[in-house]
């Protein structure tokens, strides 16, 4: 019986030590309101970096590789896209569009 009481007191002390909420954790605004608004969500990114990333993306859109252009052309034409599912986009583009360009 004495060991049961000692083990219970020890368990209560361990629980109190590990589950204690310190005052420092209560100071955080996230404790009361864990969500931030949309405007503050990306405050840590500098504006010039965002503009630079957008301009780089626009440059990449303009300078597509020939394979990417061929794939997009093939995706816009339904029979070519169906052929590409079986044989690949390169073979489908050659099958439907390569003969037209050589004439």
Tell me the per-residue pLDDT of 41-59, one tens digit each, with 9 for 90 and over: 666 666 666 667 777 777 7
Q: pLDDT grade, residue 98 (50/70/90)?
A: confident
Q: Does some domain include residue 83?
A: yes
Q: Which domain holds residue 96?
A: 66-102
Residue 57 lies in a domain: no
SS (H, E, C) the chain: CHHHHHHHHHHHHHHHHHCCCCHHHHHCHHHHCCCCCHHHHCCCCCHHHHHHHHHHHHHHHHCCCHHHHHHHHHHHCHHHHHHHHHHCHHHHHHHHHHHHHHC
Whether residue 72 is predicted with pLDDT greater than 80 in this model: the reply is yes
* Domain count along the chain: 1
Whether 14 maps to a domain, the answer reads: no
> In this structure, is residue 11 part of a structural domain?
no
């Amino acid at each position: 019986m004495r060991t049961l009481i000692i083990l219970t007191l020890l368990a209560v002390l361990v629980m109190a030590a590990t589950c204690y909420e310190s005052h420092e954790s209560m100071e955080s605004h996230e404790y009361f309101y864990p969500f931030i608004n949309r405007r503050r969500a990306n405050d840590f990114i500098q504006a010039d970096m965002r503009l630079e990333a957008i301009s780089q993306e626009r440059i990449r859109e303009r300078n597509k590789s020939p394979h990417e252009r061929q794939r997009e052309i093939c995706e816009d034409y339904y029979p070519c896209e169906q052929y590409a599912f079986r044989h690949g986009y390169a073979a489908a583009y050659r099958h439907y569009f390569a003969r037209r360009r050589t004439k």
